[in-house]
Amino acid sequence: MIDLRNLTFDVYSSYNNTRIDAGLNGTAVGTLIFKVNDERVKIVYIEVVSQYQNLGIGQMLYKTFGEIYSQNYSQLPIVRDFVNPIAEYAYRKAIGLGWISEETLDESLITRRNNETNQQLWTNLRDKLPENIKGPINWE
């Protein structure tokens, strides 16, 4: 069993880019990168190392992002391009936990890279979310 009590987050910012690295006992286990300009915040990348997936590290990265966003950028909308349903599920779950404002769920600012496998996975994950943040039935 992996003990997440030693999970740490380091935040690096330069100009309009911010990187959040998750580490566990000196090992890199995940990363979230976002960009900010005068009009919006765009989460461009989130990844959890495969052997550490399904432990909630993605949600913790989103929680750290949510803290930075609420302190510095809450007046700006968030743009998302989800490459798979797991990333969207983790984002929506972080919203459900109150770590990111529900107001950031503007469907007009969300794009998804769809395929048949993603649709079935999304259907399964969507059913686990609270009704108010489930998102669209079709993952497209």
Question: Residue 139 domain-assigned?
Answer: no
Q: Which amino acid is at 120?
A: Q
Question: Residue 47 domain-assigned?
Answer: yes
Structure tokens at 126: 């969507």
Alpha helices in 27-115 (DSSP H): 57-72, 85-96
Q: How confident is the model at residue 47 (pLDDT cuts 50, 70, 90)?
A: very high
> In this predicted model, what pLDDT tens digit does every residue of 86-96 receive, in sequence order?
889 999 999 99
**Stated pTM of the model:** 0.89
* Total structural domains within the chain: 1
Q: Is 46 left (phi over 0), alpha (psi -120 to 50) or beta?
A: beta
Instruction: Work out the burial of residue 45: count CB atoms within 10 Å of its CB; fewer than 13 is exposed, 13-18 middle, 19 or more buried.
Output: middle
> In this predicted model, what pLDDT tens digit does every residue of 61-120 receive, in sequence order?
999 999 999 999 999 999 998 888 888 999 999 999 999 998 888 889 998 887 777 888
CATH code at 115? 3.40.630.30
Answer yes or no: are the C-beta atoms of 117 and 86 closer than 8 Å. no
Supply the range of the domain harboring residue 91: 4-133
Tell whether the model's pLDDT for residue 29 goes beyond 80.
yes
Answer yes or no: are the C-beta atoms of 9 and 21 closer than 8 Å. yes
Backbone angles phi, psi at 130, to 5 degrees: -60, 150
